[in-house]
Amino acid sequence: MRVTEENELKKTAFLFPGQGSQAVGMGLDLYEEYDFVREIFEMTDDVAKANIANLCFKGPMEELTRTVNLQPAMMAISLSCLAAIEYAGIKPDMAAGHSLGEYGALCAAGAVSRFDGVRMVNKRGLLMDRESVKYDGAMYAVIGLTIDEVTRLTEQVDGEVSVANHNMEKQIVITGSPDPCREVADLAKSLGNKAIKLKVSGAWHSRLMKGAKQEFSGFLDEIEFTAPNIPVVHNVTADTCADPGKIRSMMVDQICSPVRWYDTMLGLIADDVEVFVEVGPKKVLTGLVKKTLPDKWPGSLCNVNDLKTLEKFVKAMA
């Protein structure tokens, strides 16, 4: 949190992005500047048994975007940005992450170690990639309908299709088998709304990932979870939790459950968060927050993804 000119503390939330925010070159200047960032990448390379650093800095994008590479890559970038912020002496009051980003939020809260965070996302990426090879999947962004309206459309269609992400009030992502997803998208269009097919390799957050969920549950039994130092708003419930065992269970459920991001943002706003900080590449979450905030909202939106944005953020928090 920071102190304003009126000496009032402003509640700060760190937000961690997920897949879709990647860019070739991400994290390079932080890597060149800080020894601790290089250590994070070395750890990630060791866990993933791949040159994640080289993929982040040089690409190619096609290889970086592969789920098995992208999940540890995004985690390495988020942890690097987080470490740089903490090195500047700034810590959040709350945290949340979109899908994969929830693991960064758990690390920010001290609920899991950074090493275990990288281990978990690496395993998660391997398992989800395996299931995406077994089952053809698709995802569409439906724009213009509420969550209840989209849910009703999915119930009208036979086959595997469900809600994956509730990103804004009327921006919902559906997931599942290709044909049922296309039918729901066509129904949405017939009602005068937009439905955009997403470039993904699997039906993320759908029941088609249940094989990954089952094996991931066993893997997480090896991971030590502790009570978070700050509240983390979870994707599955859009609520906080202090019980390490329940947090572990939610991270298993998250693989097949919808990401309740819109409800998460409403909850943070209701909790009087006034400074939202996107910790990681691009500004996807910042854009979603901006469109969710009420008119004349008094707080500020920030992002930290390189040395320039880090310096700007630190100055703003001084």
Can you list the residues of the chain whose pLDDT is less than 50?
Answer: 1-7
162 a catalytic residue: no
CATH architecture for residues 2-133+206-317: 3-Layer(aba) Sandwich (3.40)
pLDDT given at position 170: 98
pLDDT given at position 19: 94
- Retrieve residue 98's tokens: 């979109």
Sketch the domain layout of the chain as residue ranges.
Answer: 2-133+206-317, 138-197
For the chain, counts of helices (H) and of strands (E): 14, 10
Q: Do domains 2-133+206-317 and 138-197 have the same CATH topology?
A: no
pLDDT given at position 10: 86
Distance, CA of 103 to CA of 107 (rounded, Å): 6
Residues 6+ apart with CB under 8 A from 14: 82, 85, 92, 94, 95, 96, 105, 108, 277, 279
Distance, CA of 302 to CA of 289 (rounded, Å): 11
CB 123 within 8 A of CB 49: no
Which residue among the candidates 21, 78, 80, 99 is catalytic per the annotation? 99
CATH topology of domain 138-197: Alpha-Beta Plaits (3.30.70)
Per-residue pLDDT of 120-156, as tens digits, reads: 999 999 999 999 999 999 999 999 999 999 999 999 9
206 a catalytic residue: no
Q: At what angle do helices 307-317 and 67-87 cross, to 10 degrees?
A: 40
Which residue among the candidates 205, 206, 234, 257 is catalytic per the annotation? 205
Model pTM score: 0.96
Helix/strand/coil percentages in the chain, nearest 5: 50, 15, 35
pLDDT given at position 8: 53
pLDDT given at position 318: 85
Distance, CA of 273 to CA of 102 (rounded, Å): 18
pLDDT given at position 143: 98
